Amino acid sequence: MSEKKLAYYPGCPSATTAIEQDMSTKAVFEKLGIELSEMEDWNCCGAAEAEDPILVYALNARNLAIAEKDGLDIVTPCSICYYNLARTDKALREDEGLRAEMKDIDSSLEYKGTIKPKHILDVLVNEIGMDELSGKVEKKVNVKVAPYYGCYIGRPSETAFDDPDDPDLMDRLIELIGGENVQFSSMKTKCCGGPLMMTREDIAFEMARKVLESAKNAGADCIALACPLCGMMLDAKQPDIEKKLDIKVEMPVVYISQLLGLALGIAPGKLGLNKNVVSTKEILGKVI
Amino acid sequence: MIKTWELDANFRNEIMNEPGGEHLSACFQCSTCTIGCPIAEIVPSYNPRKIIQMSLLGMREDVLSNPDLWICAICQTCTARCPQDVRISDLLAAIRRIAEKEEEAGKLKVDSVRPLFEKAFLHQLEKYGRLFDMGLAMEYYKGKEGGSFIKGQLAMMKDFKDFGMRMFKKGKMGPKAMFPEKVKKKEEIEKIFEKVGEKEK
Ligand code: SF4
Ligand code: SF4
């Protein structure tokens, strides 16, 4: 990767429910010698709840404009933030009228389209690249992993950066660090139910159950993922799902940045591995 | 049975004029969207293809009052697979917004708590510029309990007692979670909500 500095868009859960993702992302980039400079005064992307596209564009135009002032590409660890930033970037690049409309709302929304928003997985594999990463791997993370991509990484096509049906960026990282990918193809890109968690818990739990049980049946030691909403659903809510549906899963769920961090020789505490709800102790025992 | 005299020939235009609804008429009813939908797998009645067909026919009332509109997980699987680029996920959102407007005008009762949740979410965003989980949960539960703060709090504690403790123990519900993080240039966020709101009217 040529640039050694990126604008960092942490997203709202970074200080609370997904703090381990934030910690591990920062630790990994520090170790790789790439500076993450947190965007000044960023705002929420609208998540899955802002359904009006114009509102999504306005919220994200402000964020894009902040990074553009510094001339930096944006990296975010959240798939939903990424999707909202990327679709706004695309819509504004293509539509002069929309750009004018944004500027008309407020001058802080003036975005010219000279930078790019990117997802952390895309930056790691496609920008930094496997060669550079493999040179920095210090430890073997000998775990069986169910790589779970969820939505927005492989779809929709305008913003996707991996295959819609059988994405493999995470699979490649897992192989690189000495892990093994279990048979998980049919579940990789299935929605975790997160957007329905607060309004239709029954459906959301059933969706999450399918992902969790498939990983278990495939013999995985853990699920790896790259989105805080998936993390909320599959990890933080796992005990609730077990209780409600009367099942036992006990499946550790980690962010891919945490697994990669272990391979780079970063201390587990710095990667927030004590913050995941389902214990990650067994994974730590497999780092050699 | 379709009551032809109740059809609204303009409904398709109404949807296609709503951002996200533009591609409605391209649908050729192949069902690809429904076959791959994770919700259709779980809820037998759920059928995005049918919602589209009914919209094209002009069955306005039936479509807008269909409770299934509110259980789409916006996962984009249908959008990614549709051979006609109908963009079903965004299209359903456009139909939901029409239904919400109808409800605001007192013409329809939406059979879902989802609008309440989304409004509470956006309200947090408007106030702080960032999501404040605690404030969101409080406002949403208050709304769900018919506007009673006390009842809302009790219902919320019942639903989230275990979860809250779990998060607290992991240091995810500490002081940082108790107070909202705020965007400094609040006026810029306020402008967005004010102006986008105006445009919609
Ligand atoms: S996949 Fe597209 S064309 Fe086929 S039924 Fe669904 S919306 Fe219509
Ligand atoms: S976006 Fe909605 S309708 Fe489309 S596949 Fe996902 S849940 Fe089904």
Would B41 be classed as within a structural domain?
yes
How many structural domains are present in chain B?
2
In percent, how much of chain A has pLDDT > 90?
95
Ligand 1 atom, smallest distance to B29 CA:
5
Same domain assignment for residues B82 and B132: no
Ligand 2 atom, smallest distance to B72 CA:
2
CATH of residue B35's domain is 1.10.1060.10
User: Rounded to whole angstroms, how far apart are CA atoms B196 and B191?
Assistant: 8
Tell me the pairing of strands A35-38 and A117-119.
Answer: unpaired
Residue B172 has pLDDT above 90, yes or no: no
Residue A176 has pLDDT above 60, yes or no: yes
Q: Which residues lie with the beta carbon below 6 Å from any ligand 2 atom?
A: B 37-39, 48, 72-78, 88-89
Best A199, A207, A210 residue to mutate vs chain B (most B CBs within 10 Å): A199
Same domain assignment for residues B175 and B95: no
Two domains, one topology: A5-120 and A130-284: no
Same domain assignment for residues B119 and B72: no
To test the ligand 1 pocket, which listed residue (B16, B23, B29, B85) has its Cβ within 8 A of the most ligand atoms?
B29
Same domain assignment for residues B24 and B57: yes
Same domain assignment for residues B50 and B133: no
Best A105, A201, A206 residue to mutate vs chain B (most B CBs within 10 Å): A105
pLDDT at B164: 87
pLDDT digits (tens, 9 = 90+) for B150-165: 999 899 988 888 988 8
Which range among A26-35, A117-126, B1-10 shows the weakest confidence by mean pLDDT? B1-10
pLDDT digits (tens, 9 = 90+) for A220-279: 999 999 999 999 999 999 999 999 999 999 999 999 999 999 999 999 999 999 999 999
pLDDT tier at B200, thresholds 50, 70, 90: low
Residue B183 is which amino acid? V
Residue B197 has pLDDT above 90, yes or no: no
CATH number of A5-120: 1.20.1050.140
Distance between A116 CA and the closest CA of chain B, angstroms: 22
Helix axes A96-105, A79-94, angle to 10 degrees: 110
Task: Say if the Cβ atoms of A52 and B97 lie within 8 Å.
Answer: yes
What pTM, to 2 d.p., does this model score?
A: 0.95
pLDDT at A149: 97
* CATH number 3.40.50.11810 given to A130-284: yes
User: Rounded to whole angstroms, how far apart are CA atoms A219 and A234?
Assistant: 17
Residue B80: give the domain boundaries: 4-104
pLDDT at B135: 87
Ligand 1 atom, smallest distance to B85 CA:
2
Among candidates A49, A62, A239 on the partner chain, residue whose Cβ is nearest the Cβ of B121: A49
Q: What is the mean pLDDT of residues B160-172?
A: 88
**Of B104, B131, B151, which residue constitutes the final position of a domain?**
B104
- Residues of chain A positioned with their CB less than 8 A from the CB of B48: none
Same domain assignment for residues B167 and B83: no
User: Rounded to whole angstroms, how far apart are CA atoms A202 and B193?
Assistant: 32
- Residues of chain B positioned with their CB less than 8 A from the CB of A154: 80
Same domain assignment for residues B45 and B93: yes
pLDDT at A3: 64
Centre of ligand 2 to C-alpha A235, Å, is 23
Same domain assignment for residues B81 and B62: yes
Is A263 within 8 Å of A222 (Cβ atoms)?
no
If phi > 0 it is left, if psi is from -120 to 50 it is alpha, else beta; for residue B87 that is left
3-state secondary structure of A103: helix
Q: Ligand 1 within 6 A of B88 CB? A: yes
pLDDT digits (tens, 9 = 90+) for A16-35: 889 999 999 999 999 999 99
Residue B75 has pLDDT above 70, yes or no: yes
Same domain assignment for residues B47 and B128: no
Answer positive or negative: Cα dihedral of A115, A62, A43, A227: negative
Give the closest residue to A194 by CA, choosing from A159, A163, A225, A220: A225
Answer positive or negative: Cα dihedral of B170, A205, A44, B102: negative
Q: List, edge to edge, every strand of the sheet that includes A144-147.
A: A180-181, A144-147, A222-225, A253-255
Would B51 be classed as within a structural domain?
yes
Q: Where are the domains of chain A?
A: 5-120, 130-284
pLDDT digits (tens, 9 = 90+) for B78-104: 999 999 999 999 999 999 999 999 999
Atom 4 in ligand 1: which residue has the minimum CA distance?
Answer: B30
pLDDT tier at B199, thresholds 50, 70, 90: low
Residue B201 has pLDDT above 60, yes or no: no
Among candidates A12, A43, A200 on the partner chain, residue whose Cβ is nearest the Cβ of B71: A200
> Alpha helix locations (H) across chain B?
11-16, 32-35, 38-42, 48-57, 60-64, 77-81, 88-104, 114-128, 133-144, 149-169, 175-178, 186-200
User: Rounded to whole angstroms, how far apart are CA atoms A23 and A270?
Assistant: 7
Atom 6 in ligand 2: which residue has the minimum CA distance?
Answer: B75
Q: Ligand 1 within 6 A of B49 CB? A: yes
Q: Ligand 1 within 6 A of B82 CB? A: yes
Q: Could you tell me the two tokens for B1?
A: 């049975």
Nearest residue in chain A measured CA to CA from B86: A156
Would B109 be classed as within a structural domain?
no
Atom 3 in ligand 2: which residue has the minimum CA distance?
Answer: B72
pLDDT at A2: 59
Same domain assignment for residues B8 and B87: yes
In percent, how much of chain A has pLDDT > 70?
99
Average pLDDT, chain B: 92
pLDDT digits (tens, 9 = 90+) for A128-171: 999 999 999 999 999 999 999 999 999 999 999 999 999 999 99
3-state secondary structure of B79: helix
User: Rounded to whole angstroms, how far apart are CA atoms A161 and A225?
Assistant: 15
Nearest residue in chain B measured CA to CA from A149: B75
Distance between B186 CA and the closest CA of chain A, angstroms: 10
**Of B77, B104, B131, which residue constitutes the final position of a domain?**
B104
**Of B104, B134, B164, which residue constitutes the final position of a domain?**
B104
Would B73 be classed as within a structural domain?
yes
Among candidates B38, B93, B196 on the partner chain, residue whose Cβ is nearest the Cβ of A54: B196
Q: How many CB atoms lie within 10 A of CB B143?
A: 18
Centre of ligand 2 to C-alpha B71, Å, is 9
pLDDT digits (tens, 9 = 90+) for A62-111: 999 999 999 999 999 999 999 999 999 999 999 999 999 999 999 999 99
Among candidates B90, B172, B195 on the partner chain, residue whose Cβ is nearest the Cβ of A19: B172
Task: Say if the Cβ atoms of B131 and A106 lie within 8 Å.
Answer: no
Tell me the pairing of strands A35-38 and A253-255.
Answer: unpaired
